[in-house]
Each structure stands twice: as structure tokens, then as C-alpha cells.
């Protein structure tokens, strides 16, 4: 996996030599992608928490363990990073 500095250098290398108007378009695209990713992350967190409100108090120890395992698996899949 590339370090943050490596990725930043790679991005600068890719846009080097492009006209200013093209660079401005790329900046807009990056901002739009960031906003969309952050919005989905914030919206999804609240929805996930609220759908289980009130039902956890009635779980048996076995069901509680199964629930915790399912939440852990979902967390592993939900926070994927985009590799470029």
C-alpha cells in the first residue's frame, strides 16, 4: 500500500503539465467525491445504530454473541478504502 506522501506525489505527477482549466475540473471532481463519501458515512452510521435500538435488551447470551460477531463482520466490510 502506498504511503500518503507517495499518493500525493503520484497525484501531483498526474496533473503536472495539464492546463489550469483541467486541473480545476479535477479539483471539483475530488471535492465532490469526498463530500459524497463523507455524507454516506455519516448518514449510514446513524441509520445502523437506530435500527437496533430497543431490541438488544431481550437477547440471550448466545444471541448477543452472534449479534456482536455480525456487527464486527459488517464493520470490516463497510469501511473499505478506495485503492487507486
Give the closest residue to 52 by CA, choosing from 40, 38, 68. Answer: 68
> Is 30 part of any domain?
yes
Count CB atoms within 10 A of the CB of residue 70.
10
Q: pLDDT tens across 33-77, in order? A: 888 877 766 555 555 666 666 677 777 888 888 888 877 776 555
> Is 32 part of any domain?
yes
The count of structural domains within the chain is 1
Mean pLDDT of 1-15: 85
> Is 5 part of any domain?
no
Q: How confident is the model at residue 7 (pLDDT cuts 50, 70, 90)?
A: confident
Half-sphere exposure of 76 (CA within 13 A, CB side): 6
Q: Are 47 and 81 in contact (CB under 8 A)?
A: no
> Is 52 part of any domain?
yes
Q: Are 64 and 56 in contact (CB under 8 A)?
A: yes
> Is 68 part of any domain?
yes
Decide if pLDDT at 8 tops 60. Answer: yes
> Is 35 part of any domain?
yes
pLDDT at 71: 74
> Is 58 part of any domain?
yes
Vertex 59: Cα angle to 53 and 64 (nearest 5): 90
Can you give the residue range of the structural domain that contains 36? 19-78
pTM here? Answer: 0.40
Amino acid at each position: 500500500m502506498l504511503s500518503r506522501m507517495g499518493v500525493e506525489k503520484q497525484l501531483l505527477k498526474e496533473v503536472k503539465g495539464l492546463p489550469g482549466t483541467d486541473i480545476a475540473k479535477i479539483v471539483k471532481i475530488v471535492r465532490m467525491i469526498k463530500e459524497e463519501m463523507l455524507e454516506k458515512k455519516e448518514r449510514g452510521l446513524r441509520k445502523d445504530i437506530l435500527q437496533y435500538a430497543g431490541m438488544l435488551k431481550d437477547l440471550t447470551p448466545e444471541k448477543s454473541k452472534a449479534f456482536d460477531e455480525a456487527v464486527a463482520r459488517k464493520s470490516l466490510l463497510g469501511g473499505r478504502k478506495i485503492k487507486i
